[in-house]
Structure formats: structure tokens, C-alpha cells
Amino acid sequence: MEFTTTAGNATTFGNTTAGYEFDPQIEMFKILVTCILALVMFGMGCAVDHEKLIDNFKRPIGILIGLGCQILMMPMIAYGLIKATSMSELQAITFMVVGCSPGGTFSNILAYMVDGDMPLSVALTTLSNLFALGTVPMWLFLYTWIEEVDENIQIPYSSLGITLASLIIPIVAGILFRYKFVKIAKYLAKGCAIFGFILLVAIVAAMLIRNDIPIVFSVKTILPIAVLPIAGMVISFCISLIPRLELSREARRTIAIETSIQNGSLSTNVVFLTYGNRLNMFMAVITIPLLYSISQTIYNIILVVIYKTWKFYQTSRNRKFSGQSVTAVGYEVMEMT
């Protein structure tokens, strides 16, 4: 089955036209965004200390907790929300696809922006996408078996492979670059993170502005979409607070962000492959992964803004107190003399 997207009013699924025509400008835009993301991931690799990355694997508690939350807890939360909101069968399957998807690449940028554990972030994103080759089919099989759903869901393994390649190659290149040029790598990492964050905001804005695909939703669909990323973030952060785990603040923030960010492109591709030749079904469910991608990004952008505001306040406050301390010491010295 072939699928092409376009600007305008149509999408072509194989030989079936659903009102959208192929637009080479959109395809060029996708290629451009992919290249830019590869550059951003190179910058994120520049923020990773290879020794700390090795330490994360030597003491893998952060990796195990993060992966457990991502590939075990999130699908279970998604299933609970499906049962709680009585979604339709098609919507429920699509939402389950979103819930069992691996971590998204933008989580690395967001982790950097909140001073997270970058080696842990990179490890979690890469490993969750690697394990997704087995965990996504497993969860979807279990769901269709438990709910007795007769649906042949198509898993885009090629998309997973491309995601892994676009993650691993630039990140490894960035780590190697940092090993040779530490000072330059730090500036590159900061610049790429800021650029990537701006790109993330721009993509969300573009998705909100564009209206090529009609948005079809109700309380039954919008509620779980709004709750899932917040629930994943809060619960995973609370788990990371368990004293016996001895996780750092940076690791806790990273695990929370990694858990809440799902690979939106993967879930969208699953919908395309499964329902692309059935227009009515496709239009009924495509909104779910698109709205989830928007909502999870907006939540994390708000989190970054709150963190940066708090950090600025704390820095200003510390400078003020340190200035007062220096002045007081000066007066004491003057009195002694």
C-alpha cells in the first residue's frame, strides 16, 4: 500500500484517492525537516559525555525505570483510559497504538532544556525505539486478543528502522565530536537545543494552523488524549522519587519527559498503513495521533517555560543574597580595622 500526503484537499492511498493530491513541496519539506532533525540530534550527541553514558549502563537503574515506564506503564495507562471513557473500537485501537509507541526524538531537546540527564535521555530514546520492534506488536496483539478485535494492524517496521538510524547515526557522531572537541561541542549542543526548541514550537503552530484533515473528536477521545501524557509524566516522576532508587534530580526530570513523549510519527504511520484504503475509518481515527502529538508537546513546552522561569528566579535570588553577604563581610572588615 502506498501513501502520499499533500497540501490541499486530498490524500492518495495506493490507487484510491481520498481528495488529497501529491504535493512535491510537502515532500521536500519533510526531507528538509528530517535533515534539520538529524543536525539537532548531532547537537544533542554533543551534549552527551561518553563516560556518563557508560556509567548509565554500568548502573542501569535509570534506564530500567525509564524503559519500564515507557514500554510497560504507558500502554497500561492507555488501556485504562480506553476502558474508562468507552471509546469506539476504531478509536480505541488507534489510542492503544499511541500508548504503546516508543519515545519521540524531541524528548532529547526537552530534556536538555530542563537540564536533564542527557546520556540517560539519549539511551532511553534509542532503546525504547529499538525494543519497539517487539513491544509494539506484542501490546497490539494482547489488546486485540483481550478485546476480541478482528483487525489486521500493520506495523511500519521500515519507519522504526529509519527512526533508529536517524537517532543513532547523528548522536554517535555528536558523541565522538565531543570526545575530540569538548569546548566547541558544548556551544553546538546549546545552539542546536535552542534551534530545535524553536523548530518544535513552529511545527506545533503549523499543525494547529493547517486544516487539511478535518478534526473529528468528542469528549470520549479528547479526554484520554489530554490525560495520557500528563499521567505518564506525573506517575513516572513519582516512581523515580523512591529513595531506594537513588536517582538524581536530573534523572528524575529526564524519565518524566521521556515517558510523556511518544513517537507520534510511528502511530500516524500505523494508522496510514492499517486504514489508508478505508477513507471513513481513516478520517475517524487520524485525529488521535495528531492531537496527541500536539498535546504532549504543548505540555512539555509549558514545563520548559516554568522550569526556565524558576531557574531564572533562583539565580537572581542567589546573586542578590551573595551580594548582600559580600557587603556584610566588607562592613565587618572595616569595623575590625
Report phi then psi at 104, rounded to 5: -90, 155
Distance between CA atoms of residues 164 and 160, nearest Å? 6
User: How many residues in the chain?
Assistant: 337
Residues with Cβ within 8 Å of 77's Cβ and at least 6 positions away in sequence, in order, are 99, 228, 231, 232, 235
Q: What's the confidence (pLDDT) of residue 10?
A: 35
| Whole-structure pTM value | 0.78
Q: Per-residue pLDDT tens, the chain, 337 aa: give them.
A: 333 333 333 333 333 334 444 456 556 666 676 777 788 888 888 888 888 888 989 999 999 999 999 999 999 999 999 888 878 788 888 888 889 988 877 888 889 889 999 999 999 988 998 898 888 889 988 988 888 776 667 777 776 777 777 778 888 899 999 988 888 988 888 888 888 788 777 776 766 666 555 555 566 678 888 899 999 999 999 999 999 999 999 999 999 999 998 887 777 777 777 665 666 666 667 778 888 888 888 888 899 899 989 988 888 877 776 655 545 445 444 455 5
Whether 48 and 175 have beta carbons less than 8 Å apart is answered as: yes
What local confidence, expressed as pLDDT, does residue 29 receive? Answer: 63
State the residue for C-alpha cell 524531541: 106
Q: What is the reported pLDDT for 23? A: 52
Cell of 298: 504543548
What pLDDT is recorded for position 276? 58
Structure confidence at residue 312 (pLDDT) = 87
The candidate with the shortest Cα–Cα distance to 173, out of 157, 197, 189, is 189
- Cβ-contact 236, 72 below 8 angstroms: no
Q: How far apart are the first and last CA of the chain?
A: 87
HEC assignment per residue over the chain: CCEECCCCCCCEECCEECCCCCCHHHHHHHHHHHHHHHHHHHHHHHCCCHHHHHHHHHCCHHHHHHHHHHHHHHHHHHHHHHHHHCCCHHHHHHHHHHHCCCECCHHHHHHHHCCCCHHHHHHHHHHHHHHHHHHHHHHHHHHHHHCCCCCCCCCCHHHHHHHHHHHHHHHHHHHHHHHHCHHHHHHHHHHHHHHHHHHHHHHHHHHHHCCCCCCCCCHHHHHHHHHHHHHHHHHHHHHHCCHHHCCCHHHHHHHHHHHHCECHHHHHHHHHHHHCCCHHHHHHHCHHHHHHHHHHHHHHHHHHHHHHHHHHHHHHHHHHHHHHHHHHHHHHHHHHC
The Cα 71–Cα 253 span in angstroms is: 18
The Cα–Cα gap between 108 and 190 comes to: 12
State the Rg of the chain over Cα: 22
Phi-psi region of 115 (alpha: psi -120 to 50; beta: other; left: phi over 0): left
Between CA 46 and CA 112 the distance in angstroms is: 11
pLDDT confidence of residue 26: 55
Question: Cell numbers at residue 65, please?
Answer: 525505570
Angle 24-46/157-180 helices, nearest 10 degrees? 40
Give 115's Cβ-side CA count (13 Å radius).
Answer: 9
Among 292, 285, 288, 219, smallest CA distance to 260 is for 292
What pLDDT, on a 0 to 100 scale, did the predictor assign at position 242?
94
